Amino acid sequence: MFAPGAVPRQNVAMDQRNSFFRPELADLPAYVAGAVAPGDSVIKASSNEICFPPLPGVQAAIMHQLGNVTRYPDMAGAPLRAAIAAYHQVSVEQIVVGNGSVALIEKFLTALATPEAEVVLPWPSFEAYPIAAKVAGVHAVRTKLRADGAVDLLAVRQAVTARTRALLLCTPNNPTSAALTHTELRAFLLDLPSDVAVLLDEAYVDFVDMPDAVRGVELCAEFPNVISLRTFAKAYGLAGLRVGYAICDPAVAQTLLAMNTPFGVNQLAQAAAIAALQARGEVDRRVQHTVAERNKLVAALRAQGWTGPDPQGNFVWFPGADTELLEALCRAEGLIVRALADGVRVTVTDSEGSLRLVRALSNYRAEQD
């Protein structure tokens, strides 16, 4: 059934075509993805991915599912939710999966956005937060970090007003790699009004090796306003498949589930994430390897005269650095790092990656003198 149709409209000005969107979306901050390594010999240390190949069980699970991609996946990821619930020993009603944890952050903020709503955003932190807040149409109130780079809970508490709907707490914080303790976070939560939601982003929880580490699942059980956010992108090595999840109160989960994009986590990702959970022993070995590499790297940095708290994520942070110079010196060594506004973030990879960083930093210090 064909008709001639209208001639496509030409020369419509850009601002006119965008006039149906909310005006504040015109100046969304850009999410800058970590640079891609230009060749095999270059090491990518710009996106905090783990530096191992996919787990064998994950590859097999994906291959097994290839024949099923003509079919929609399970709509809300029920088998994956069940596997996650079993792993954390919580009920399946407490788990929501999403197309990367970033998708869950977006849904969460959209769910609470009203014209008056505010969220408290300790900064610098994950770049995706301010973008998600703007897209949701919720006002983000920034607070400073502690001198050690961890979330300043006192500053956060002072920023809470009657309009505050949620807090975006990242621990260990990206990009500073500093973490809160369970004791201080729990004390903070006891003092917080229970109608303020706490999005606890624990993307790097696996890499923490300090005493009194935050136990997010326990906090979710004690405080129904806490939502622990996890991802398969980092320790599990599934960044390319986009899958993350929230552990939260069943009532909160119900709303997030109702809002979720139908079939938001694809077939291959669901199968791969289940296989990754089954391979938790191997995941742990890889995490331990990364933590050991980080600790070796930190010792080398200290020997060079660098000071600062021990990093708790799979990345190290150089605040206040001459970011352009440091990035260029790393690139000259074949290491792609992430230059941000306030410093340079470098993912812990393998011993070769550490060696390159140490060489670049030694050149950096020489240029600074």
Ligand X SMILES: *Cc1c(COP(=O)(O)O)cnc(C)c1O
Closest-by-Cβ residue to ligand X is 100
Q: Which among 261, 258, 204, 267 is positioned nearest to 232, based on CA atoms?
A: 204
Q: 202 or 333: whose CB is closer to ligand X?
A: 202
Q: How far is the CB of 15 from ligand X (least distance, A)?
A: 31
Strands (E), the chain: 43-44, 95-98, 118-122, 139-143, 164-170, 197-201, 226-231, 244-247, 315-319, 335-336, 338-339, 343-347
- What residues between 198 and 237 interact with ligand X by CB under 6 A? 201, 203, 231, 233-234
Cross-sheet strand order for the sheet of 315-319: 315-319, 343-347, 338-339
Under rule CB under 6 A, residue 174 binds ligand X = yes
- Do you know the residue count of the chain? 369
Least Cα distance to 224 among 198, 205, 201 occurs for 198
Is residue 312 a contact point for ligand X (CB under 6 A)?
no
CA 354 to chain centre: 23
One of 121, 156, 168, 170 touching ligand X (CB under 6 A): 170
**What minimum distance in Å lies between the beta carbon of 3 and ligand X?**
44
> From residue 232 to residue 261, what is the string marking binding to ligand X with x (rule CB under 6 A)?
-xx----x----x-----------------
Angle at CA of residue 285, ends 280 and 288, nearest 5°: 120
Instruction: Provide the mask over 54-83, with x wherever binding to ligand X is found by CB under 6 A and - wherever it is not.
Output: ------------------------------
Which CB atom, from 42 or from 239, has the smaller least distance to ligand X? 239
Is 123 an interacting residue with respect to ligand X (CB under 6 A)?
no
Rounded least distance, CB 320 to ligand X, Å = 21
Q: Give the separation between CA 231 and CA 237, rounded to whole angstroms.
A: 10
What residues make contact with ligand X under the rule CB under 6 A?
48, 100-102, 126, 170, 174, 201, 203, 231, 233-234, 239, 244
